[in-house]
Structure formats: structure tokens, C-alpha cells
Amino acid sequence: MQVKIEESWKIRLKEEFEKPYFLQLIEHLKAEKALNKQIYPAGTNIFNAFDSTPFDQVKLVILGQDPYHGHGQAHGLSFSVQDGVAIPRSLQNIFKELQADIGLPIPTSGNLTVWAERGVLLLNASLTVRANEPASHAQLGWLTFTDQVIRTLSAEKKGLVFLLWGKFAQEKQILIDDSKHLILKAAHPSPFSAEKGFFGCKHFSKANEYLVRKGYDPIDWKLSS
């Protein structure tokens, strides 16, 4: 099956695109569109995380669970929203921790594209969702696909940092070889849990300290304000 995705990822994931679960997933999405169901993000942004961060450029992974399901929010990058969209509360808390950890000002936009372009793979476990129905596509096969993405990164690269925030993300730890990569875990930045271990985790500085020790350039976490 021909999937429009960045070439370095296409080479590594081409076998997944031919598997029955993935073909069924695509047919399900087509069927929903035929019924005029609104699906987020737009088709051109479903693989935005991969298109924005080629395989060889990945240095750090931030794993989300589900795309935003509100109008105009999701654009294929975990936790990120498009310019001009109100910053969700979980992302507000990420920015608060970023400021507390390394002193950066709170951004006025929630668009994290520049992080993706600097080597941060902003990966959601599910890559699509129906409008106003959270987790509505979680059982379609996306989890199988993104689990394979994590396995591939773990196997083929070394010295990556994985930020696993919340129980769902932390369950993916079994897919990662922690003898080759750094896994940092904390509570989810959601307003329901941020006070229970996300605030004060210092993941941004810890990630950069590790990358520098491994001989890589640190992530420039600054966003235009």
C-alpha cells in the first residue's frame, strides 16, 4: 500500500503498511469519511510527526495517547495545537514545567513544530480520532502501528530519550531497551495529575544532560513567544 510518509520512515515501516490490520484500519477510515464523519487531524497531517522528524534526526520521543478531538486543534504532533488555537491545559502545564526547569518564558502559541524539527518525535499512540469522541480510534490498529514505531526506534538507534508521562505512556516501557536509551517517567501533565509528580520532574534538563553525555547536541526547547 502506498502511504504518504517521509521516506526514511517509509523504508522502515513498509512491511507494516501491507499487514492486514493496517489495511483494515485504512478501510475503516475511508468508511467513516464516506459517512461524513469528521476525523482529526486532516489527512495531510496524520503522519506529520514522521514528516517533521525524519528517522535519522530523532533524538527524543514524547509519547501522547490520542489526538485532540476539538475543531482546529490536532495537527499530527502529540500535545501540540495549531497557531491561533487556545493552549490546552496539559500543554500549559508542560510550559510551566519547562519554565520552572530551565527558565524559558511561557510561549503564547501551543504549536510545537519547531521541537519536531529539532529532533523531538511528538508521537501519539493513536494517529486519528473522531470529532468530539476521545479514544474513538484507539482500537482500530493504530496502537499496533505505533508500538512497532517504538520498537524500531529502540532497536535501530541508540542514545534516545523517551519521555513517558502518565500510566498509558509508561506501559510502553516494555518496548524500549533501557540499556541503550534513557527512559524518564512522570505523572501526566493533565490538570488532574500534574501536581502528583509532573511538576518538578525536570525532564527537559535531564534529557539534555543525557544527550550531551552521549555526545549529541541538546534540544533547543525555546519556542517563539
Catalytic site positions:
66
Compute the residue count for the chain: 225
Q: What secondary structure, in 3-state letters, does 131-165 show?
A: CCECCCCCCCCHHHHHHHHHHHHHHHCCCCEEEEE
Other beta carbons less than 10 A from residue 30's beta carbon:
10
Give the three-class secondary structure for 130.
Answer: strand
C-beta of residue 106 within 8 angstroms of C-beta of residue 96: yes
C-alpha distance from residue 140 to each of 14, 124, 130, 219 (Å): 19, 14, 12, 33
